[in-house]
Structure 1
Amino acid sequence: MSIPNEALQKILQEIGQKKAFAEQQLAIVKQQMAVKTRENRMLQLTASEVDSLPGDTNVYEGVGKMFVCTPIPDVQKRIASESEEINADMSNLQKKQDYLEKTYENSKQSLEQVLRGGGS
């Protein structure tokens, strides 16, 4: 039982588009993960610097084009909340990456299967 050429071309085109889309989205997710990793590292470095300061040190945070004096505990709370947010984002991005990798592999296998079956 062979598949007509038009139907085979349509199937190949759909699978190819799905594979290309998954590949493109996978590259975007990897780039987003790299950005989040860099942001998390910057937060860790900032936290270690703030932790090493004496408690009575004036700490300034940038707000737009100005700097505002902020107590160290407030800075530490902000860093902790941003770190938690980044970790949640990383978890979501990891799940998305896993899904896209599976989609990509399934599309690749389907494409190979159609090509092997369509050739006979």
Structure 2
Amino acid sequence: MSIRNEALQKLMQEIGQKKAFSEQQLLIVKQQKAAKNRETRMLQLTANEVDSLPKETKVYEGVGKMFVCTPIPDVQKRLVTESDALKSELANLDKKEHYLQQTYDNSKSSLEQVLRAGGI
């Protein structure tokens, strides 16, 4: 009987660790998504400001410790490229979040099932 209890405790410990790890990773992914959403919003606001400028306006971009005059179409192209990259990263984070949420839910239900079946 003690072998069964030891195996049950080991199983519960493994499932508990997997659940805790998934929960921790899920929190990290949610924070990363929030940061990417903020970056996306900043790019949208910047693009709106650049679009509202007259075509002859001089636009400067920071390069290291200096600023370089850049044509408006080049700035717009860079903003679109960065926005597309962020969308791709957000899609990957969504997939990762879904996987981690599933792992967490499965671990949680497995743990509850073991507790009900084991009578601990």
Shorter chain as denominator, the TM-score bin is over 0.9
Unaligned runs of 5+ in 2: none
Q: Deviations over 1:85-107 (max 9, x none)?
A: 00000011011111110000000
Instruction: Report the counterpart of residue 108 of structure 1 in structure 2.
Output: 108
Q: Give the % identical residues.
A: 73
Matched, 1:98 2:98: yes
Matched, 1:41 2:41: yes
Amino acid in structure 1 at the alignment position of 2:92 = N
Structure 2 match to 1:78: 78
What TM-score does the superposition give when structure 1 sets the normalisation length? 0.96
Two-structure CA RMSD over aligned residues (Å): 1.6
Q: Specify the alignment match of 1:118 in structure 2.
A: 118
Offset of residue 8 of structure 1: 0.6
In the superposition, the TM-score normalised over structure 2's length comes to 0.96
Which portions of structure 1, spanning 4 or more consecutive aligned residues, are displaced by more than 3 angstroms? Answer: none
1:26-52, Cα deviation, whole Å (9 max, x unpaired): 000000000000000000000000000
Gaps of 5+ in 1: none
Amino acid at match of 1:12: M
Number of aligned residue pairs: give it: 120
1:70-115 superposed Cα distances (whole Å, 9 cap, x missing partner): 0000000000000000000001101111111000000000000000
